[in-house]
Amino acid sequence: ETGVTQTPRHLVMGMTNKKSLKCEQHLGHNAMYWYKQSAKKPLELMFVYNFKEQTENNSVPSRFSPECPNSSHLFLHLHTLQPEDSALYLCASSQELAGRTYEQYFGPGTRLTVT
């Protein structure tokens, strides 16, 4: 599927590095999301953007910094990460109407390893 793309697909970084994850959606949606998926843990919603405005931040540490310059692009800036931040980071998009969330479409994810 090419509706939601993510780059890079794999990333290895040291704890002192700074890197960014990129997500782009080609579906004309107005909402975008970052999720964290760790082994043996439920999917964790990190951030929600609706019409480029951040509408949800689920107590995510400040070492993760999202950016949404327009409704098609979403970034996750990473700095001074910890080994426990190693996970699959998934981006998704959806159409939100009248306060309800419809189906979300996911990108393939970025597998992040923090050494």
Partner 1 sequence: AQSVTQPDIHITVSEGASLELRCNYSYGATPYLFWYVQSPGQGLQLLLKYFSGDTLVQGIKGFEAEFKRSQSSFNLRKPSVHWSDAAEYFCAVGGNKLVFGAGTILRVKS
Q: In whole angstroms, what separates CA 22 from the centre of its chain?
A: 8
From the list 13-21, 59-67, 78-86, 95-103, the region that binds partner 1 by CB under 8 A is: 95-103
Indicate whether 21 belongs to the interface with partner 1 (CB under 8 A).
no
Q: State which of residues 77, 102, 113, 115 lies at the interface with partner 1 (CB under 8 A).
A: 102
* Number of alpha helices (DSSP H) and beta strands (DSSP E) in the chain: 0, 13
The residue range among 11-19, 63-71, 72-80, 91-99 that interacts with partner 1, by the rule CB under 8 A, is: 91-99
CA distance 27 to 71: 10
Structure tokens at 47: 């951030």
Among 45, 63, 86, 95, binds partner 1 (CB under 8 A): 45
Least distance (Å) between residue 20 CB and partner 1 = 19
Judged by CB under 8 A, the residue of 22, 52, 73, 111 near partner 1 is: 111
Neighbouring C-alpha atoms within 13 Å toward the C-beta of 98: 0
Binding piece for partner 1, criterion CB under 8 A, among 13-21, 65-73, 75-83, 89-97: 89-97
> Is residue 51 within the footprint of partner 1 (CB under 8 A)?
no
Please list, in sequence order, all residues whose beta carbon lies within 8 angstroms of the beta carbon of residue 42, skipping any fewer than 6 positions away: none
Q: Is the dihedral of CA 85, 48, 19, 112 positive or negative?
A: positive
